[in-house]
Each structure stands twice: as structure tokens, then as C-alpha cells.
Amino acid sequence: MIGQALRFVVVGGVNTATYYGFYLSMREWIGYLPGHVVAFVLSTIGSFFLNTLFTYRVRPTLRRFLLFPLSTVVNFVVTTVGVVVLVEYVGLGERVAPLFAAVMAIPVTFVVARRLLVGRARGEGLRRGEDQMITVFERRSRPQ
């Protein structure tokens, strides 16, 4: 699990850089808000594939793809609440509060993304029908 957490942080860094690169390149063409939306969607798609294949090492299925944005929603809620609490109640400055809130959100987002992509136990994904069929097919198609 520690390895997954470290890979999750690396993927988060790559995802942030990807988002920012897309955002900077698109905002000149289509404006900052549409650029933000397009960059966010593209980086979320990239994040899904990096997290399934690299972080959690599970198959990227359509079901997982459709569930994955829920981890982004959780991240948004945790960071938003964190910023408000840090600014309003802790007295942290508005410029640094989002950085602390983002760091605080990492473990929560990791757990939610892991639950959505892997399941409760490490092997749960292989017990689902869609993955089970793929696993059976792979066993039959392997040379003996």
C-alpha cells in the first residue's frame, strides 16, 4: 500500500503538470475558462489511465472510467472545506491555505480512488463479472 501511495503522489504530480500545460496552451486560443475545463477533462482522463495501470495496477474498464471522477469530486470537497477551515478558523493566509489543503486531501483522495478502482480487498476487481471473463479468457489463451 505504501508503494501505491507513492505512485499516487507521482501520478498526481504528472497530472498537475499535464493539466497546467494543457491549460496554458489552450487559454490563448479559447480563453481561460474553456481552457481550464478542457485541460481538466484531458488531465482527468490521463490520470485515470495512469492510476489504473501504474498506481493500482488494475485493468482500465469502462465501469472504472465512469466511477473515477468521483475521486475528483471528493478531492474538490476536501480541499474546499480545508481552505475554508484553514483561512477562517486557523488563520492561515489565503495564498498558502490551498497548498496545505491539497496536501491534506492526498490521503483521502488516495483511499477513495483506490476503493473505486481496486475495490475493498486487493483482488476484488478480479471477482467482478467483467474482469472475471477477461481473466478466464487470458488463462485459456496462454500457451501451456
Domain ranges across the chain? 2-141
Cell of 131: 474482469
Residue segments in the chain with a per-residue pLDDT below the cut of 50: 123-141, 144
Q: What is the pTM of this model?
A: 0.69
Burial of residue 56 (number of CB atoms within 10 Å: 0-12, 13-18, 19+): buried
